[in-house]
Structure 1
Amino acid sequence: MIEIEGVTFTYEGSSKPALSDVHLRIEEGDFLLVTGLSGSGKSTLLRLLNGLIPHFYRGKMEGRVLVDGIDTREASVASLSKKV
């Protein structure tokens, strides 16, 4: 299961959040399609899920992202990539 709880993320060097107060729950076996206009936060959302944010892309993050109950801030990108 993946849970996003109140996540707001602003990339380093930007004053505008790429995502603002996102709440999402994805159960095992769910199928998810992410669509939207350019700049709407699709890539940022996926970077949150696989741990590239906060481990590779820097910025200010509020809230938390859990993958199988593990906070993505505390897990390596390699371990998260096996789950997402």
Structure 2
Amino acid sequence: MELIRQAFNCDVIEYYQTPVSVKTPLDALKNIELPPNLHIQHEYHRFHPETDTMFGGISVFTKSSTIVTGLKYKKKYKGHVAKTSWP
């Protein structure tokens, strides 16, 4: 019984000493070397009908909303809820 308890304690200690990464997959891609034919845009542009006036604020995806859920980007990007034709 004592041997099982010691093995359990070792497993618990190993579990709590395991490092945890809190980076998102996109943030993790900033630090790796990419092939020359691959480019990741970290500061991207979000569509909003009030600010994107190239086509009169009309999106290609007319029934698709732009919802910002991350706390980091809520202040940076304004969300947009698309009008639906179905009640």
TM range (shorter): under 0.3
Q: TM-score, normalised by structure 1?
A: 0.24
Judging by fraction of residues, say which structure has more helix.
2
TM-score, length-scaled by structure 2: 0.23
Flag the structure with larger Rg. 2
Q: Relative to total residues, which structure has the larger strand share, 1 or 2?
A: 1
